[in-house]
Amino acid sequence: MAKQTSARRREVRKTVSRERGTRFELFRNRATVFAVLFTLLLGGASGLIAVSSQQQVGVYLGALTTEPVIARVAFEVINEPASAQRRENAANAVPNVYRANDAWLNQVREELKGLPTLVNAETTGESAPYGLNEEGLARLADFASRPDGQKQWDQQVDGFLRRVFTRPVLAQDRVDSERTNQNRLTLLHPDPSETTDAEIRAYHYDLLSVADTEAVQTAILSAARDFNPSLRRPITTLVVQRLRPIYQFDESATRERRDAARLAAAPQIDTYASQQVLVPASTRLTEAHITLIEHERAQYKLHLPIWAAWLRVLGVMGVSTFIAGCLWFYAYSFQDRIRRNPTRGLALIGLILLCQLMPAVALRFNAGGNTLIIATGFAVSLSAIILALVYGQRFALAAAIIQVALIGLTLKLNLIETAALLAAAGTAIALLQEVRHRSAIVRAGLYGGLAMLVMMSLVGLSQDDLAFSDALNHIAREAIWAGIGVGLAGIVVQSFLPQVERLFQVTTAMTLKELNDASHPLLQRLAQEAPGTYQHSLRIADMAEGAADAIGADGLLCRVGSMYHDIGKIHKPSYFIENQGDGPNRHDKLSPAMSLLIIVGHVKDGIEMAKEYRLPTPIRQFIETHHGTTLVEYFFHAAKKKSEASGETTSEFEFRYPGPKPQSKEAAIMLLCDGIEGAARAMADPNPIRLEQIVHTMASKRLNDGQFDECSLTLQDLSSIEKSITKTLQAMYHGRIKYPEKEEAEERHAPPHIAGQASRI
């Protein structure tokens, strides 16, 4: 027993040994530190997002400039369209390249150079087709007989072929093409005196078609002028008989020369002076405009002093930090759950930054597309709906203003565009006053989307230049996509509501409504195994819900928490007076210390059952704190009386619940109602005056005992709670008419339906 007492003393001292004032000061300092840290964290992170995104704002294909874009510094930029045109002009100026038909050339050259051998008697007959006469044969024989004759003949043949190559004979289709385009040509043919091909310039009017035999024959005959007259026509005949296109189009060489011409073309450089208008107002941005603006921004950054760039960053960070400070000042002033739980503060920061990052990412990857419009509307609505469900409408509206301000800073939105976002967020928040069904979330998103559609249409009509032919289509398209983005947020939140509750450690009205259903397995067990405790919980639920509503707290949360606060009694229901009925009191055979362990143990048992049935954290807090660190008076006095008889002393610490004390108004209300309901049930004659007195006495007792020190309950709240509880108790224990004895006897003998009517008076 001594070991149990020592352990009990240590457990209680963990929660109640600190002095009230010191603990309050420590808590206040801790909250202030977290407020400053969270402000700096949110301000710094949101500032970085804004700084990295602002350079992208407003520059996308099809954007309408509301004011002229002016150069801040002088700069030069390559005019890409003009430069591209220059390159194409240079490439088009390159003539088509034609290369000599080497196969035909080699064949003709070999036959021409072999003509002197035809003077032999054996080959004379073979020479007849060329029209060689005796004089021609004699000339050929002369070349064949002289030692250097063959060499001279070869030189004449080479000279003849060079002159032939100056007469560009092409296929008919190539002649037609070149004459139609009136192009110049480049002709490449082998030059025996050079290691590379000889190059000839020709014009379309110099071309000969291989099909025009007469013109070709005349040209070749003219090229054979260095031969003896008796040989000219036979040589011409030989060439014409084997005639093929002398030149063929060389596509590869033509492409290489044109590519080289493109590379060699000098770009066109445009020079812009400082303060020069780059893009006039009311202009739809084209690719050329965007390139020009980006070059100006790049040059401005290069010319901007480092200190000026850092000052700009400092300015944006300062604005974002101020906005973040406003949020945390409001949160720590009016939202007790955030102030007391840093985890909720981190979750809030994560949500705000996520919703700011969405349009920033969309801006980077899709600056002028529908993605940015959808992301912006979705982000604002997502934040508003989640915070309205988690922390209520008032806080959600304040946070929505902060969220819109940060997104406006990121996207450089004007006042009218900011108002449109606020209208959408405000509409969604207004429809989430009391959410008892999941469909209400979707409905809030859809109505918010409708408000966004209307506002964006009005914004477009007020800002866009309607002189453009596509202005109305542009306005309608942006408005529709913005409305879709806002509407999607409601669907997404409804789908991920359980995850949202776990992240923010809260329970929404929909979940509370499901938990309040009498068919819940845990409530079914409580009603069957501990019926007295179940009825006790029902009465406390009625009292706590009304009291919470009276001070603006969460009445539904109070009701559900009250229904589950005593579930730990299921394990040992017969040890609690409300479940004993007319049977013996089991504590009569136990020592006060042992009874204390059983009574206090129902809190721990309740927490274990709550975990087993996966009750939300806010409901578990009701179980943990519904007795706070109050004194188990009955067994304390029994132990004290027993110890006095034996000359020992009993410490009050040993007979207190281990706590913790209530951390919220709702938990404090339930603690008070729990004590009042038990006291009222023990009263012999619960008339209105006595009920009012017991309520006030119990409230004062719990206040003086320090049970409300760790929640934000005020004296004004406590007064309103007393009035509400008194009213509820008076309704529960309403007076009845006392019948005279004669009438009572008559009633006992009256028919059942008459007696029933009398009992209901």
Tens of pLDDT, residues 133-176: 778 778 888 888 888 888 888 888 888 888 888 888 888 888 88
In this structure, what are the phi and psi dihedrals at residue 434, rounded to the nearest 5 degrees?
-140, 100
What is the rounded distance in angstroms from the CA atom of residue 678 to the CA atom of residue 540? 9
Q: Is the pLDDT of residue 80 over 60?
A: yes
Pick the range with the lowest mean pLDDT from 121-135, 231-245, 257-271, 443-457. 121-135
Structure tokens at 288: 């050329």
pLDDT at 4: 47
The residues, any chain, with a CB within 8 Å of residue 183's CB and separated by 6 or more, are 95, 96, 204
What is the rounded distance in angstroms from the CA atom of residue 677 to the CA atom of residue 673? 6
The residues, any chain, with a CB within 8 Å of residue 602's CB and separated by 6 or more, are 566, 568, 569, 571, 572, 576
Greatest mean pLDDT among 141-145, 362-366, 526-530, 743-747: 526-530
Q: Is the pLDDT of residue 322 over 70?
A: yes
Q: Is the pLDDT of residue 232 over 60?
A: yes
Structure tokens at 87: 């390159």
DSSP state of 208: E
Q: Is the pLDDT of residue 486 over 50?
A: yes
Q: Is the pLDDT of residue 760 over 50?
A: no
Domain with CATH 1.10.1760 in the chain: 307-496
Q: Is the pLDDT of residue 12 over 60?
A: no
The residues that bridge with 269 in the sheet, in sequence order, are: 78
Domain with CATH 1.10.3210 in the chain: 510-733
Contact predicate 747/739, CB 8 Å: yes
Q: Is the pLDDT of residue 758 over 50?
A: no
Instruction: Please give the order of strands across the beta sheet that includes 198-203.
Output: 198-203, 184-189, 96-100, 247-249
Confidence label for 640 from pLDDT (cuts 50, 70 and 90): confident
In this structure, what are the phi and psi dihedrals at residue 367, rounded to the nearest 5 degrees?
-60, -35
Burial 681-715 (b: 16+ CB within 10 A, else e): eeeeebeeeebbebbbebbeebbeebbbbbbebee
Contact predicate 274/71, CB 8 Å: yes
DSSP state of 581: T
Averaged pLDDT, 740-748: 54
CA angle 709, 715, 720 (to 5 degrees): 120
Amino acid at 464: D
In this structure, what are the phi and psi dihedrals at residue 325, rounded to the nearest 5 degrees?
-60, -40
List the CATH code of the domain at 307-496. 1.10.1760
For 275-291, what is each residue's pLDDT tens digit? 888 888 877 778 788 88
For 328-343, what is each residue's pLDDT tens digit? 889 888 887 888 788 8
Residues in the chain: 761
pLDDT at 547: 94
Greatest mean pLDDT among 199-208, 523-532, 652-661: 523-532
Alpha carbons within 13 A on the beta-carbon side of 644: 6
Segments of 606-707 assigned E as strands: none
pLDDT at 595: 84
Distances (CA, A) of 111 to 102, 115, 158, 292: 14, 7, 12, 66
Pick the range with the lowest mean pLDDT from 1-10, 112-121, 142-151, 706-715. 1-10
State the chain's maximal CA–CA distance in angstroms. 174
Confidence label for 525 from pLDDT (cuts 50, 70 and 90): very high
Q: Is the pLDDT of residue 15 over 50?
A: no
Contact predicate 660/710, CB 8 Å: yes
Structure tokens at 210: 């291989």
The residues that bridge with 270 in the sheet, in sequence order, are: 77
Confidence label for 21 from pLDDT (cuts 50, 70 and 90): very low
Pick the range with the lowest mean pLDDT from 571-580, 603-612, 696-705. 571-580
pLDDT at 350: 93
The residues that bridge with 200 in the sheet, in sequence order, are: 187
Contact predicate 675/685, CB 8 Å: no
Structure tokens at 573: 């229901």
Contact predicate 259/46, CB 8 Å: no
Pick the CATH number of 510-733 from 3.20.20, 1.10.3210, 1.10.15, 1.10.10: 1.10.3210
- Give the Cβ contact number of residue 605 at 10 Å: 17
pLDDT at 280: 85
Averaged pLDDT, 76-105: 87
Average pLDDT value for the chain = 82
> Higher confidence at residue 5 or residue 729?
729
Pick the range with the lowest mean pLDDT from 146-155, 422-431, 662-671, 686-695. 146-155
Contact predicate 419/453, CB 8 Å: no
Q: Does residue 660 have a cis peptide bond before it, meaning omega lies within 30 degrees of 0?
A: yes
Structure tokens at 406: 């940060």
Q: Is the pLDDT of residue 326 over 60?
A: yes
The H-or-E segment that residue 276 falls in is: none
pLDDT at 58: 55
pLDDT at 742: 54
Averaged pLDDT, 178-187: 80
For 352-406, what is each residue's pLDDT tens digit? 999 999 998 888 876 556 788 888 899 999 999 999 988 888 999 999 999 999 9
Closest Cα to residue 442, out of 359, 381, 533? 381
pLDDT at 55: 65
pLDDT at 59: 65
Q: Is the pLDDT of residue 268 over 80?
A: yes
In this structure, what are the phi and psi dihedrals at residue 530, rounded to the nearest 5 degrees?
-140, 70
Determine if the pTM surpasses 0.85.
Answer: no
Confidence label for 470 from pLDDT (cuts 50, 70 and 90): low
Averaged pLDDT, 180-202: 74
Composition of the chain by helix, strand, coil, percent to 5: 70, 5, 25
Greatest mean pLDDT among 124-138, 397-411, 576-590: 397-411
Q: Is the pLDDT of residue 543 over 60?
A: yes
Confidence label for 2 from pLDDT (cuts 50, 70 and 90): very low
Pick the range with the lowest mean pLDDT from 18-27, 134-143, 409-418, 713-722. 18-27
> Higher confidence at residue 628 or residue 195?
628
